[in-house]
Structure 1
Amino acid sequence: MTDERASTRLNKHIAETGFCSRREADRLIAARRVTVNGIAAGMGAVVGEGDEVKVDGHELRVRQKKAGGRKHVYIMLNKPVGITCTTEQAVDGNIIDFVDHQERIFPIGRLDKESEGLILLTSNGDIVNEILRAENKHEKEYHVAVNKPVTDEFLRGMARGVRIRDEVTLPCKTARLAKFGFRIVLTQGLNRQIRLMSDAFDYRVKQLRRVRIDNLKLGALKIGQWRNLTEVELRGLLPQRTDW
């Protein structure tokens, strides 16, 4: 190992290479699939400049920022219904094959296969948890169509929080969009959250579309299309970071 003053936690180092997120890196480390200088690494390990990090015997290298460019890829996709937000390319209709980007990228969070709309993908695994943590209060706005008229009681109940599975969802914002439609703004992202919240009031979701993540809006991006985020969008999403 090198000078501790220049050291980086191993899971952060792996994420910075674009190989995977920190959470996935922790799983790889726990499974003893990561070595540092030829020795299996433990949880909480740190690395420094010159240390050799390998996953399953393959060396990882931190991306170098190109002159006048970015070190990582950041894109937004208007995901169609039927695409699955997984990096498992054995799954038919997986989001990685659908985007077909030349760089190794992965989705930040997920949208259900039967849902559509805005999802972010990146090669920077170090930002994934930062965006997904509910305590960081990144807003996600959805437009939802349901099978019966939206009532004030339903909107108030959804906004207060709903018990699903073994927890109560965080308070959120709701508003009526149409007789059979409403908007909802969440800061958390539990699996199938809006569908399960609606089920609790005997409503069935017929269409679910994410239209915004914080300062990022779908705008004119058509279903199935993707584009790179702008510098302004990146700074608005993650104002404390500069390691693009």
Structure 2
Amino acid sequence: MHIQTFLAKSGVYSRRETARLIDDHRVTINGIVCSRQSIVSDSDTVHVDSLPVPDPAERVYLAFHKPEGITCTAQQSVEGNLNDFLKWESRIFSVGRLDKASTGLLILTNDGSIVNPLMKEEEAKEKEYIIETSRPVSETMIKKMCEGGLLIKGKKASPALAEKTGDVTFRIILKQGLNRQIRRMCRAFDNHVVSLKRIRISHIQLHTLEPGEWRHLTEEEIRQLKYEMLDKS
């Protein structure tokens, strides 16, 4: 298999990280510095920074209710990272992100080989949020979110499904994933997000998970997650 796939299957590195390690000449196969095109066989010895790559960890796929203040990264150098919070025995990655101030559903896995493909596929998945704002939610704002076309850092927001649920609350379903999209759309109407919680990604629901709690995905949830990824690859 390709060296990037081999490294990602260890559960220690994501594909993005493996590319950086290889480009920095930190990966060797049988003592020889490798390239992204290198192939690994069962008889080969692979080292990163002169240390052997660990055996693959048992695969886990989790639904996690991210609390406010946690940063969606596995990098140990970042304060409030996912690994420090969860204290998982193997390195764990988030599929997609929520900003530090937002809460709600994250899909987590230690299967580095599927993180990037799932992140690409996540752009086409429905993601559902409930929002509280600092000022009353206007019908004009909801209408424009449904129509699409708002400029978010030079890119047009796609049409969304949005509905007002209270004087200062609304619900929205997005497929697009522009940076801080909901917050920026609200600011376009001189309104500001007080709280933002994601309650669904495609077929996976947050349900009754409290902030900081997690659960294993069911076999059916994992099967459908991987099927959707392969179906669109």
Q: Report the TM-score when normalising by structure 1.
A: 0.84
Q: Is contact 2:123-2:176 (8 Å) kept? A: no
- Structure 2 regions of 5+ residues with no counterpart? none
What is the Cα deviation at residue 208 of structure 1?
A: 0.3
Aligned 8 A contact 1:15 1:21 in 2:
yes
Per the alignment, residue 235 of structure 1 pairs with: 223
Picking from 47, 54, 76, the partner of 2:63 is: 76
Over aligned residue pairs, what C-alpha RMSD do you find?
2.2
Map of 1:113-192 to 2, 5 A cutoff?
113-133=100-120, 137-159=124-146, 160-192=148-180
Say yes or no: does 1:15 pair with 2:8.
yes
Alpha-carbon distance in 2 for matches of 1:35, 1:240: 34
Q: C-alpha displacement at 1:135, in angstroms?
A: 7.4
Tell me if structure 1 keeps the 8 A contact 2:130–2:199: yes
Tell me what 1:86 maps to.
73
Distance in structure 2 (CA, Å) of the matches to 1:139 and 1:240: 12
Q: Which moved more, 1:150-159 or 1:127-136?
A: 127-136
Q: Among residues 73, 85, 105, which one is paired with 1:98 in the alignment? A: 85
- Residue pair 1:11, 1:26 contacting (<8 A) in 2 also: yes
Tell me what 2:213 maps to.
225
SS at match of 1:238: helix
For the pair 1:197 / 2:185, whether they are aligned, the reply is yes
Ranges in structure 1 where 5+ consecutive residues have no aligned partner: 1-7, 65-70
C-alpha contact 1:133 1:188 (8 A) present in aligned 2: no
**Structure 1 contact 154–201 (Cα < 8 Å) conserved:** yes
Count of residue correspondences = 229
Q: 1:60 deviation in Å?
A: 1.6
Partners of 2:22 and 2:115 lie apart in 1 by 18
Q: Distance in 2 between matches of 1:62 and 1:162?
A: 48
The match for 2:41 is 48
Indicate the residue corresponding to 2:18 in structure 1.
25
Amino acid at match of 2:107: L
TM-superposition CA deviations, 1:204-233 (whole Å, max 9, x none): 111000101111111111111111111111
Give the whole-Å Cα distance in 1 for the aligned partners of 2:158 and 2:13. Answer: 28
Q: Using the alignment, how far apart are the partners of 1:13 and 1:148 within structure 2?
A: 51
CA distance in 2, matches of 1:233, 1:128: 16
Residue in 2 that maps onto 1:35: 28
Distance across 2 between alignment mates of 1:137 and 1:49: 36
| 8 Å Cα contact 2:96-2:122 kept in structure 1 | no
2:202 is the alignment partner of 1:209: no
Question: What secondary structure is seen at the aligned counterpart in 2 of 1:133?
Answer: helix
TM-score under structure 2 normalisation? 0.88
TM-aligned CA deviation for residue 134 of structure 1: 5.2
